[in-house]
Structure 1
């Protein structure tokens, strides 16, 4: 857009919301990369103070603060957004409640902890195609994404000719002064706005509250063989509201009852061992067992919440007493010593870990046998795997990110709290003896088998079918088909929001700007959070301090996103978008006020649904991820080994993850894992050198033929490292022999045969002693004698070639692992990239599916694996 174009005059903003003040100031930012076109940057570098650009009309300093629940300046009542066309009225004048969990997503590979401390330097996080390139990958991806968008719009244009025309836009006839007057509905008083229930629980037709579904699943396991259901060949079959006609299952598995601590294991208060009621002792054990989880137990909020609940339990159960029966008043958390409890449970863990493999196998078999009846249900006559049939055991709530309720006690769930959903003709599973179910339902519209309400957040937990079940597969299929359908409408949507960036109504301009940000930068929609939820931010809930403007068109986003992961990005936007954001931040707005004060997530999704049934902001992420991956794969020519092909796939996946801002913190074990991998590679290079020395042992003239350099030891391998590595190899071989001996004895015992004696083990360990002698001789003489049966130069040369290939594969894998340390590839691959695209890559380049999907994921995406060939396109 031309910078010379003036903004369309806007309706004056009269109202302001009084949001909470920020807790920490944010410095301004220097530009870390340039963007020619609107797109996504991957720079996570901190904002630099000396580059800050203060906007004259900003009305306050930019800062980073936690999001606080919106409060009204008049009173504390909550009101709903009116269903009339009064969305032009500033939302600060409206009172509304928190909308919980509007954008649930399954982020298996996204970390739950906040990325604390300073953000890494750009040089530490840069991921590029060429190591010597000066062009940031964010800029490359921005231009690449823009090309993909333009190409997609051209491809979709012919198919849109036969589609229905878009609904006519609302009249934008301007008044003489160029400003469209606000509608009467926009001037409603607060008393005229309909009240909305405070609960985020949806309401069913009968008026009863329906809990919000929280689907959970576990890894799928093999079930019995039966006739295959190829439902994806006729997906319309499951479009009705009735999900099943018959349903049978055996209920849920309850956690075992609490086992009291031994009499010599006590909580100490101020150095004195105290006796507790069993209920209080169980809660103390929750904290004591997790002393090694420092990120939780050293968290002041975790400690405060736990101790508050612990004191309540003490009060209800008669408190604590010393060994003489005198009452001990537990008042200070700092005086509580949980170490005796931790040491007891840690000893039990070590004891269990040290059990012989045969005993572990026996215990597992017993547990599996007990749980087998609950693992499957019969759904419309078909045996289906159940996902999470176990009731959650009592424990301490941890929460995602900086959850304000972390450390609270999750109470034990009783049968009286559980509702069973089952077929009318089926036998209702009996509850535990002495108990009864809360209710038994026959809800054929529900896909859940059992449900209960947990005590921390009041959320409902559901027992659902497993990820590889027909029902879950159909859900995934519809999700990606909906994203494919968006292809037909995306050009019109982009054309409309570009036009409405200059709309005369503030509400429409905010709506267009939000859709632009969601589409171009993969921002989540965001929704209002209550006081009892982690304070995270999305597009619609961006606060004044989350956005820093740097003329002429750079925008810095800095906020806590999903799971309290810090989202930091500096991007270039259209000039009109920059102008709009400047207007949205205009005085008297200040820290704590919302940028999009006339827009809600529900209002935005309602607007999007006018283009396509079921379209929400979340669908844009799935569409952009899948379409980008589709375009990258279409132009890809993966060659070489499987490891190199997998890296090529991961490189494309990484671009998608970066475009979608799927970030993760570098794991605490990453550096150690990389060091181990480096040592393994170094060890393989050492073995390659040994093989070459064996070749010289057989034919000394090779040194002249191949050149001395061919037989030289790598510079980074010295004598000290060789001795350490030799000791490692000796010990590794010793452990292998011992494990093999134990396994052979277990097999003999299982077959009823006599076990081998210890003397047999000693005999086997002789090879280890021989290895030590051989290494010592090599170190003294500097020569390596040829090994193996009938060694020859040709055989050894072939072994060197294989070892070199292995080294190259390991180096590719190591580089891939390093490149992925801050990018959550799993989130993109599992939740946003259509799995059929991965199948296409697998079939097109002859790479086994096992390289991309684990066993459970292959079962989850069976519909994708069996439904497409290498020519399928998103």
Structure 2
């Protein structure tokens, strides 16, 4: 569900002077999830696109579909070609929508599925059984094994049990006596049943889901149909959190209509809730862009339903955000000059503000806000405590460093050891002081509010967050401009782009946990790369067999790859033999199934023996060739043809190696967050046009929908 600060309910104010633009605050929603990727293309279709080949002329039916699609595209409201400045207050004139979609009610577990307490089954009412179900179905995950998660779950479950106790009177007082394994087994049975559904069942389920969601997917904004973002009310569950969040495992309560505020046009029908109850409040506020809002119970955060990422209002907000960051270019030199001067100010508040600005500018730190006792202990620049910053001086060369170690947004650890000037080092030592404890604020005379107020004296609407967007985009532009990609392959260009994106993600501390399967995946990719090198080796040996003098003429081809040891080659060929024989058996069985279904005579066992004999003969030949430096191909080819095949294989290996390295380099970096929130999409579009890279390779379908306004940027556009 979208979270955003700009559109929180506001008290009515007197009409303000017209403003050119209004930039949406996104402190709470800036690091949202990466949009889902578009469905995978078939290999054949993908290969055609990469090779630049085109399909045969479309049939009349296909032409009709294409014409219809083009007609639909023409009907898209191209707001970026209109006057979108406005006065910064009224966002719409009319708004009609269907409200929000509530999650389905809880279905009690079968009577043979129970939580055991001290070895005995509990007879739980639905309200307390549902909470147990939330824990039981994730019993085999790391979450359920986490002590903090367990503690918070059990604490909240006991509150529910107090209101809805077991029917048999059992008092649940010890988590260690609880056994949720039957619930996990039931969940796995449900999951397997869903996987094993027939195509007809899956289709029917999909159609039912789409029918249910259809009314909520779109709204009418000023008479135009616009897509709604996440219109689903979050279902009750256990809060996961990110990093070391102190509330992970806490119960997210089921929401009712009374918890929801609906925002809709005045004088239009108010939608009926899909579950019993009445809306908590109905407002008609056309100065905000949310359709519904509520407050979740775990962290007290306000949640919103907004229009979809590709809507006109969202697009305008994105474009204005990046334009404001671009405007900062006009003022940034003055700002930097002033804070460099104020690093030596005799007024402590100015010196602290200048030092905080230095870190926000150079390290792209978030400004940080005050936190309550019940909130996660996350900090930003202005809320750093003395314990989060240490000073180090290298005794060998005299260099001075500041070491940051704290939990940032979403409880992600920020660790950075950065070399600083003598003045910054001196300031931090001064701010830590002899009279301060580790728990005291480092910048005790600076707040996010006062810092942003100071920034706005330079430029209207300037905040620390604008600096973050500005530095991310300017860094990205600089890194891309530093690479001359003339003559590079598409894979090499994409690798350079990904590396620039990675550097920005590191700057902004956009981390993620490495996928659990990463090591296994990399091992498989390594083996695949060896297999590709093996194929190249066999081509080289075939070339030397056809034309022996090539061995001296092409020493680059004669050099053996150190990874392809005799032991590995033997194991690889034996494994390929086994797979080929297995494939032959499966094909034989499949052929006979097809013949039986057609009422024809099945193939005799001798056919399978012949096929297996052919496989064995092929691999016997490879075994005989081991260590000889010679090889023969299945089809006779000239030396020139073999050299062409080697060149293609070299290109294939190079591309695969680049992709594999990129995958390993980015295993703990969340590339999507910066791409969605901090990098002006026009930088990517211009770069793609400059270096002839399809923008679809950089932006997935969701981002193409989110940034239509950026697609007009030409190859010369710069941030």
Q: TM-score, normalised by structure 2?
A: 0.83
Aligned with 1:550: secondary structure? strand
Aligned to 2:472, which of 610, 625, 631? 625
Distance 2:560 2:311 in 1: 55
Superimposed CA distance per residue, residues 210-246 of structure 1 (whole angstroms, 9 cap, x where no aligned partner): x999667865999954523332234544443111112
**Which residue in the other structure is 1:467 paired with?**
309
CA contact (8 A) 1:584 1:596 kept: yes
| Alignment CA distance shift 1:246-1:347 (3 Å) | same
**Which residue in the other structure is 1:865 paired with?**
711
Q: Note if 1:561 corresponds to 2:368.
A: no
CA contact (8 A) 2:384 2:442 kept: yes
Distance 2:112 2:99 in 1: 38
**Which residue in the other structure is 2:501 paired with?**
653
CA contact (8 A) 1:540 1:596 kept: yes
| Alignment CA distance shift 1:646-1:415 (3 Å) | same
The structural deviation recorded for 1:650 is 2.3
Distance 2:161 2:124 in 1: 8
Q: Note if 1:843 corresponds to 2:686.
A: no
Aligned to 1:529, which of 356, 365, 371? 371
**Which residue in the other structure is 1:299 paired with?**
146
Superimposed CA distance per residue, residues 382-407 of structure 1 (whole angstroms, 9 cap, x where no aligned partner): 22121101111111111232222211
**Which residue in the other structure is 1:354 paired with?**
196
CA contact (8 A) 2:101 2:274 kept: no
Q: Tell me which of the two structures has the higher relative contact order, counting C-alpha pairs closer than 8 angstroms and 6 or more residues apart.
A: 1
CA contact (8 A) 2:261 2:282 kept: yes
| Alignment CA distance shift 1:337-1:709 (3 Å) | same
Distance 2:450 2:224 in 1: 41
Superimposed CA distance per residue, residues 81-100 of structure 1 (whole angstroms, 9 cap, x where no aligned partner): xxxxxxxxxxxxxxxxxxxx
Q: Note if 1:636 corresponds to 2:483.
A: yes
Distance 2:658 2:492 in 1: 7
Q: Note if 1:486 corresponds to 2:328.
A: yes
Superimposed CA distance per residue, residues 635-673 of structure 1 (whole angstroms, 9 cap, x where no aligned partner): 431131100111122233333334444444433332222
Aligned to 2:661, which of 803, 806, 815? 815
**Which residue in the other structure is 1:243 paired with?**
91
Q: Note if 1:802 corresponds to 2:648.
A: yes
Aligned to 1:830, which of 669, 676, 690? 676
**Which residue in the other structure is 1:76 paired with?**
none
**Which residue in the other structure is 1:126 paired with?**
none
The structural deviation recorded for 1:510 is 1.0
Distance 1:653 1:385 in 2: 29
- How well do the aligned residues superpose, as a CA RMSD in angstroms? 3.7
Q: Note if 1:287 corresponds to 2:132.
A: no
Q: Note if 1:726 corresponds to 2:568.
A: no
Superimposed CA distance per residue, residues 95-117 of structure 1 (whole angstroms, 9 cap, x where no aligned partner): xxxxxx99989xxxxxxxxxxxx
**Which residue in the other structure is 2:225 paired with?**
383
**Which residue in the other structure is 1:254 paired with?**
102
After TM superposition, the structure 1 = structure 2 runs for residues 190-339 of structure 1, keeping only pairs within 5 Å, are 204-205=11-12, 219=36, 225-234=73-82, 236-294=84-142, 296-321=143-168, 327-339=169-181
Superimposed CA distance per residue, residues 171-219 of structure 1 (whole angstroms, 9 cap, x where no aligned partner): xxxxxxxxxxxxxxxxxxxxxxxxxxxxx98752379xxx999667865
Q: Note if 1:416 corresponds to 2:258.
A: yes
CA contact (8 A) 2:114 2:183 kept: yes
| Alignment CA distance shift 1:733-1:356 (3 Å) | farther
Distance 1:758 1:401 in 2: 62
Superimposed CA distance per residue, residues 345-380 of structure 1 (whole angstroms, 9 cap, x where no aligned partner): 012112222334554344323322332222122212
Distance 2:409 2:588 in 1: 48
Aligned with 1:251: secondary structure? coil
Aligned with 1:491: secondary structure? helix
The structural deviation recorded for 1:786 is 3.4
Aligned to 2:453, which of 599, 602, 606? 606
Structure 2: give runs of 5+ residues left out of the alignment: 15-24, 40-68
Superimposed CA distance per residue, residues 124-154 of structure 1 (whole angstroms, 9 cap, x where no aligned partner): xxxxxxxxxxxxxxxxxxxxxxxxxxxxxxx
Distance 2:700 2:454 in 1: 39
Aligned with 2:294: secondary structure? strand
After TM superposition, the structure 1 = structure 2 runs for residues 77-88 of structure 1, keeping only pairs within 5 Å, are none
CA contact (8 A) 1:503 1:509 kept: yes
Equivalent residue pairs, number: 658
Distance 1:760 1:231 in 2: 65
CA contact (8 A) 1:695 1:786 kept: no
After TM superposition, the structure 1 = structure 2 runs for residues 388-399 of structure 1, keeping only pairs within 5 Å, are 388-399=230-241
**Which residue in the other structure is 1:20 paired with?**
none
After TM superposition, the structure 1 = structure 2 runs for residues 107-122 of structure 1, keeping only pairs within 5 Å, are none
Aligned with 2:382: secondary structure? helix
**Which residue in the other structure is 2:288 paired with?**
446
CA contact (8 A) 2:158 2:172 kept: yes
Aligned with 1:539: secondary structure? coil
| Alignment CA distance shift 1:716-1:358 (3 Å) | farther
Distance 1:531 1:239 in 2: 40
CA contact (8 A) 1:726 1:775 kept: no
**Which residue in the other structure is 1:429 paired with?**
271
CA contact (8 A) 1:556 1:568 kept: yes
After TM superposition, the structure 1 = structure 2 runs for residues 706-721 of structure 1, keeping only pairs within 5 Å, are 710=557, 714-717=561-564, 718-721=568-571
CA contact (8 A) 2:242 2:412 kept: no
The structural deviation recorded for 1:772 is 4.1
Aligned with 1:540: secondary structure? coil
Q: Note if 1:781 corresponds to 2:663.
A: no
Distance 1:421 1:275 in 2: 42
| Alignment CA distance shift 1:357-1:765 (3 Å) | farther
The structural deviation recorded for 1:582 is 1.4
The structural deviation recorded for 1:756 is 6.9
Distance 2:258 2:112 in 1: 35
The structural deviation recorded for 1:702 is 6.9
| Alignment CA distance shift 1:829-1:212 (3 Å) | closer
Larger helix percent: 2
CA contact (8 A) 1:629 1:833 kept: yes
The structural deviation recorded for 1:285 is 0.4
The structural deviation recorded for 1:478 is 0.9
**Which residue in the other structure is 2:65 paired with?**
none
| Alignment CA distance shift 1:311-1:229 (3 Å) | same
| Alignment CA distance shift 1:433-1:817 (3 Å) | closer
| Alignment CA distance shift 1:720-1:292 (3 Å) | farther
CA contact (8 A) 2:4 2:26 kept: no
The structural deviation recorded for 1:470 is 1.2
CA contact (8 A) 2:688 2:694 kept: yes
Distance 1:462 1:765 in 2: 63
Distance 1:686 1:320 in 2: 67
Aligned with 1:541: secondary structure? coil
Q: TM-score, normalised by structure 1?
A: 0.69
The structural deviation recorded for 1:696 is 6.7
| Alignment CA distance shift 1:434-1:755 (3 Å) | farther
**Which residue in the other structure is 1:186 paired with?**
none
The structural deviation recorded for 1:335 is 0.7
Between stretches 311-320 and 360-369, larger displacement belongs to 360-369
Aligned with 1:402: secondary structure? coil
Aligned to 2:418, which of 567, 571, 578? 571
Superimposed CA distance per residue, residues 685-734 of structure 1 (whole angstroms, 9 cap, x where no aligned partner): 2233344555677x475776767984676442323431354158549968
